[in-house]
Structures are given as C-alpha cells and as structure tokens.
Amino acid sequence: MCSIFGAVGKFEREKLKKANSLMKHRGPDETNYFIEDDVFLAHNRLSIIDIKNGHQPFIKDNLILVFNGEIYNYMELKKLYLIDYKFSTDSDTEVILAMYQKYGVKCLKYFEGMFSFCIYDKNQDYFFCARDRVGEKPFFYSLEDRFIFASEIAPILEFVDDELDESLEGLYFSSFKHFPAPYTYYKNIKRLKPASYIIIKNKKL
C-alpha cells in the first residue's frame, strides 16, 4: 500500500517524523526520509517490486521522489522510451524519474497504473505532485502558510487547524456521504483531483 508524506517550511523534524508514523500501517516494511534545509520528504514502504533496491525517497541527480502505487507498464516504457537510460534498479520508481527527466510533466500521459507521487526538482526549485487517472491512490495537501501533503489526512492535522467546513454538508450528503475532490471536510485541507497534477513553487500553486 505504502504512504508518502512531505512538508516544506520551518518544522520540528521530530514532530514531522512522528506525524509520518501515523501512516506506518500503510507501509510496515521500511521508513526513510529526505531532509534538506526546509524540505522534508518521507516514505513508508510496503515492498512489492525490487525489494532490495527500490528504497524511497528515491534520489537521482537533482530529483527526489516519493511514490505510492504501481506503474503497470514500466517495463514497456523502459523498452520504448528509455533505451539509453542507465538504470541502477529494476523498480518502477526509477522509471517515473527517468520519464520525468525526459518529458517533464508530460510524462504523466505515458503512465498506466495507480499512483500518487511528489517529485522535488531542486534545479527548478518546485514540487511536482500527481495522481492517477481514476484517483485510486490518495493525495491530500494543505497550502496555507506552508505546503504539506500526505496519503492520509491525519498527519496533516498535526500541523493544520482542524476547522470544519460546514458549508459542505449539503455536498457531502448529495454525494452519497463522500466529499468529491478537491474537497475534504476541513477548510484548510484539499484532495488532489484524479487525473490531475499540481506544481508548488515559492509556496504558491
């Protein structure tokens, strides 16, 4: 199942690690972090593909990736588009970064699978976050004073006010007791829409 978590801004690192641990049930096999300046990225891993080498956050050159899900056609993508790329793993994780390096945000149109991910591009100084076409993998985020994202709402609530958006009650009941993206029941927390991506740069969407 796995989970991803990230925060950009001034945070206590131990509090961030504690918040990430709230999703440990999603990825009991391994937990790793990328911490640099004001950037914190975390991944709780359920090992499926390339157990030995597919560690995350995955770092390649100027790119750091946290990824939840599976790219079904990653082997096909390697054969068709990445023949000259020198892979260090057999994971679908590395294919995401390789395709992003070649095609930028247009890499999304090539992926078949269920996924949510965030790529921190240090050269461009932005965060590229995406969700699969059906929205099978979750991606929640808050962009108030600071950018925070996670596979579940609970870790975000450790840093964001839990004020409810009561104006959405009608939407909730008219949608079979469900908040359609981009809404959640919290004013300051959004859900990334399926088949969508966002870019966060200078704390702006």
- Residue 4: is it exposed, middle or buried by C-beta count within 10 angstroms (0-12/13-18/19+)? buried
The verdict on whether omega for the bond into residue 180 sits within 30 degrees of 0, i.e. cis, is no
Active-site annotation, residues = 2
Amino acid (1-letter code) at residue 24: K
DSSP H helical ranges for 2-133? 13-20, 74-81, 92-103
User: Helix 74-81 to helix 92-103 angle, to the nearest 10 degrees?
Assistant: 40
How far apart CA 155 and CA 140 sit, in angstroms, is: 10
CB of 151 closer than 8 Å to CB of 187: no
**Residues 98, 103, 108: CA angle, nearest 5 degrees:** 85
